[in-house]
Amino acid sequence: MASSARDIIPQQKEGNQSNIIEKINPKNEEQAKQIFNEAKKRLLSDSWKEISGDISASFTLTNAEGEKIERDAQTGDYFKIDIPGPGTKTGEGYDWVRIEAIEDYSTASAENESFGVRPAPNPHKNAGDKEAAHFFKDEATSNFLIERKGTIVSAAVYGRNEKPNLTTEKLSDKVRNAVVGTTAVMGLSIIQWKKLAKGLIGKK
């Protein structure tokens, strides 16, 4: 286990990276603790689209078999992502990411909740099919961090090693991933994650 929440963020090696951080500073520590606890619940919920407001993608929490679930997220679960426009054949119309880790690093002086995902194969496919059903290659990661230090509560999204997934065998998926992946690198995903980060801490 890592010694701090930021230790689980992979090293940047190639492709694009992003650091998106939103903060809120309520009147007192009691309010800060309440905001932090609510943010943790939202982070592990199936309501990312609702808390983000006008967001371009829809997220559905599923189990390891790709079946929709209505409970808090757990390590090994998936998010099925519906991006406007054509999806991949590999992902049966969707992009998929797997939750690799959910960690709590709270101490006497600060509170942290960490959540890490990575592009993953379509869980509906044969277990031997390892091809990532996502517009980014499977080296890409997104780490979500909720943190409270005193009265300051922050929500952050750290993207690392983001490169369009062009190694897929299907030509149509390769073209689609090139367009969507390049658009994401150019800033669309940053806009989306900023809305999510604000929504997690209830920032207007």
Q: Are 40 and 113 in contact (CB under 8 A)?
A: yes
* Cα dihedral across residues 162, 164, 165, 167: positive or negative: negative
Q: pLDDT, tens digit, for every residue of 190-200? A: 888 899 999 99
Closest CA to 56 of 194, 156, 164, 179: 194
pTM for this predicted structure: 0.78
Radius of gyration of the chain (CA): 17
How far is the C-alpha of 173 from the C-alpha of 85, rounded, in Å?
12
Measured CA to CA, the distance from residue 52 to residue 78 in angstroms comes to 19
Q: Looking at the predicted structure, is the pLDDT value of residue 91 above 90?
A: no
The torsion defined by the Cα of 30, 27, 113 and 161, in degrees rounded to 10, comes to 180
How confident is the model over 111-160, as pLDDT tens digits?
777 767 665 565 765 544 555 554 466 777 888 899 999 999 999 998 88
Question: Domain-by-domain residue ranges, the chain?
Answer: 5-201
Q: In what order do the strands lie in the sheet with 111-119?
A: 16-24, 152-162, 141-149, 111-119, 95-104, 78-82, 58-62
**Cα 102 to Cα 49, 98, 170, distances in angstroms:** 20, 11, 33
pLDDT for the residue numbered 136? 64
Query: Closest Cα partner for 62 from 81, 49, 43?
Result: 81
Given 3.40.720, 3.30.530, 2.60.40, 3.20.20, which CATH number is that of 5-201?
Answer: 3.30.530
Lowest mean pLDDT across 17-31, 62-76, 84-98: 84-98
